[in-house]
Amino acid sequence: MEFPVWRQRLRAAQQREGRSPSARWLQLASVALDGTARVRTLVFRGWTGDRQLNLYTDQRSAKCDELKVQPHVELCWLMPKAKQQFRLRGVIHLQSPDQRLDACRQAWTSLTDSGRALWFWPPPGLPFQTDADFPEKVTTDQPPDHFLLLQLEITRVELLELGRHPHQRLRWLHQEGGWSEQRLNP
């Protein structure tokens, strides 16, 4: 499968970042139930096909209710070593184990035991309780019901290259025939 130009550029930028967290950490911007903006950092978990980006989250978090109401989101992914910022826009699809057991199981098994433990902590965003259990490792092969695979179906990508003068800005739009590219003013 030949990937779109923007995917090739993103991969090259990730490689320049090496083992830096910036190669995997990105920001998800969405709209809260009250209409205000929300942004949080998530971890990039790979691709499905040429334009579905994978993330994982806890269904008990507020963002899941928000994404069900307004699934149109944008990711911002800054690659400081490459001096590039990628903005990826599209629609989020929430995939739970009862909907897509095979995909969620595969995602779950890709996590380390310490990574799986996060889904056995108390629900995110609730008041902290000192006697709550926060396990450091979990070895179960079955994802809990609140483990969600988020798949962003990307419809628009913008790349801002900050290492040039003037900065270069490119936009790719997905339509039925594939991707179109246009250069924009930075």
The CATH number of domain 5-98+150-184, selected from 2.30.110.10, 2.60.40.1180, 2.60.120.10, 3.30.70.270: 2.30.110.10
- Burial track 15-48 (b if 16+ CB lie within 10 A, e otherwise): ebbeeeebbeebebebbeeeeeebeeebebbeeb
Average pLDDT taken over every residue of the chain: 95
pLDDT score of 65: 95
Quick check: 84 pLDDT over 70? yes
Q: Are 138 and 144 in contact (CB under 8 A)?
A: no
**Given pLDDT bands bounded at 50, 70 and 90, which one contains residue 177?**
confident
List for the chain the helix, strand, coil content (%; round to 5).
Answer: 20, 40, 40
Rg (CA), the chain: 18
Give residue-wise pLDDT tens across range 118-147: 999 999 999 999 999 999 999 998 999 999
101/54: higher pLDDT: 54
Give residue-wise pLDDT tens across range 9-62: 999 999 999 999 999 999 999 999 999 999 999 999 999 988 999 999 999 999
Please give the share of the chain, as a percent, with pLDDT higher than 90.
89
Amino acid identity at 162:
L
Q: Are 83 and 161 in contact (CB under 8 A)?
A: yes
Quick check: 99 pLDDT over 90? no
Closest CA to 99 of 49, 146, 137: 146
Residue 8 β-bridge partners: none
pLDDT score of 1: 67
pLDDT score of 102: 84
Quick check: 76 pLDDT over 70? yes
DSSP 52-117: EEEEEEETTSHHHHHHHH--EEEEEEEETTTTEEEEEEEEEEEE-TTT-HHHHHHHHHTS-HHHHH
Q: Mean pLDDT, to the nearest integer, of 71-82?
A: 98
- What sign does the CA torsion over 152, 154, 156, 159 have? positive
- What is the CB neighbour count within 10 angstroms for residue 112? 9
pTM here?
0.92
> 178: which 2 tokens?
């594939």
